[in-house]
Amino acid sequence: MSRNSKAEQLCALCKSLFDRGYSVGGAGNVSVRLEEGGFLVTPTGGSLGRLTPADLAEIDAAGQPVPGPKPSKEFAFHLALFECRPEAGAIVHLHSTYLTALSCLEDLPTDNALRPFTPYYVMRAGYMPVIPYYRPGASEIARDLAAAAKAHKVNAFLLASHGVVVLGKDVEDAVNNAEELEETARLAFILRGEKIRYLNEAEIAELRAMAR
Ligand SMILES: O=C(CO)COP(=O)(O)O
Ligand SMILES: [Zn+2]
């Protein structure tokens, strides 16, 4: 897909996320890998609901911002993930309500924030390791995400007390993964206190094989 089509698609899907309440205020950022090298990233501080291609920031293949709109303060973690996960074509970071609520729970298991109880969570995310809390924009987020992305071949990471980071083959895939995860977190809260039938190891293994 050309740079212009990717820019148009990124803006359209950011608006779609904003319109449905997955992002509010200036929260969240989205990036896409360009075929010619480099990346487009949403600008810092702006709403995801009102972006045009001219508002997008560009990072060159060497990881340096191209003169123009200032990239998200989280672009370092987007780059770190693109570097260690060459199959990822896009990254979505959201403060969506239920995933962020989940990220605020004390004593989350660091290897996986959500034990699987539906198949699409396993197929789209795998599971969801937790990165400790750091202030937004801190370089430690990039460091810890890179380490986690090397150790766990999954598409989603929960940033403690902050939000979620989701990978996908392209922007559409990353957005679909993020939507599925938010819905899974919502279900987890709806089911709190209920006796949940979790998927068993054989069921999870079958789903992981399908997702490959
Ligand atoms: O979600 C955010 C920080 O974690 C938003 O920051 P940016 O506006 O710089 O992308
Ligand atoms: Zn954030």
- What are the domain boundaries of the chain? 3-211
CA of 11 to the centre of ligand 2 (A): 18
Neighbours of 149 (CB within 10 A): 23
Q: Along the chain (212 residues), what's the average pLDDT of each consecutive run of 10 residues?
A: 96 98 96 97 96 98 96 98 97 98 95 96 94 98 98 96 98 97 98 97 93 70
Structure tokens at 198: 């979790």
Atom of ligand 1 lying closest to residue 159 CA: 4
Q: Is 166 left (phi over 0), alpha (psi -120 to 50) or beta?
A: beta
Asked if residue 45 has its Cβ within 6 Å of ligand 1, the reply is yes
Structure tokens at 110: 């660091």
Closest CA to 83 of 134, 147, 141, 3: 147
Contact yes or no for 65/57 (Cβ under 8 A): yes
Structure tokens at 21: 């309440």
Asked if residue 38 has its Cβ within 6 Å of ligand 1, the reply is no
Residue whose CB lies within 8 A of the most ligand 1 atoms, among 17, 22, 74, for a mutation test: 74
Asked if residue 72 has its Cβ within 6 Å of ligand 1, the reply is yes
Contacts of 194 (CB under 8 A, 6+ apart): none
Contact yes or no for 103/161 (Cβ under 8 A): yes
Q: Whose Cα sits closest to atom 4 in ligand 1?
A: 136
Structure tokens at 17: 């996320």
Asked if residue 133 has its Cβ within 6 Å of ligand 1, the reply is no
pLDDT value of position 210: 84
pLDDT value of position 212: 64
- The tally of CA atoms less than 13 A away on the side-chain side of residue 148 is 26
pLDDT value of position 211: 75
Atom of ligand 1 lying closest to residue 73 CA: 9
pLDDT value of position 164: 98
CATH annotation of 3-211: 3.40.225.10
CA of 200 to the centre of ligand 2 (A): 33
Q: Global pTM? A: 0.97
| DSSP-derived pairing of the beta strands 130-131 and 156-159 | parallel
Per DSSP, 41 falls in state E
| ipTM score above 0.95 | yes
* Residues assigned a catalytic role: 74, 120
Asked if residue 44 has its Cβ within 6 Å of ligand 1, the reply is yes
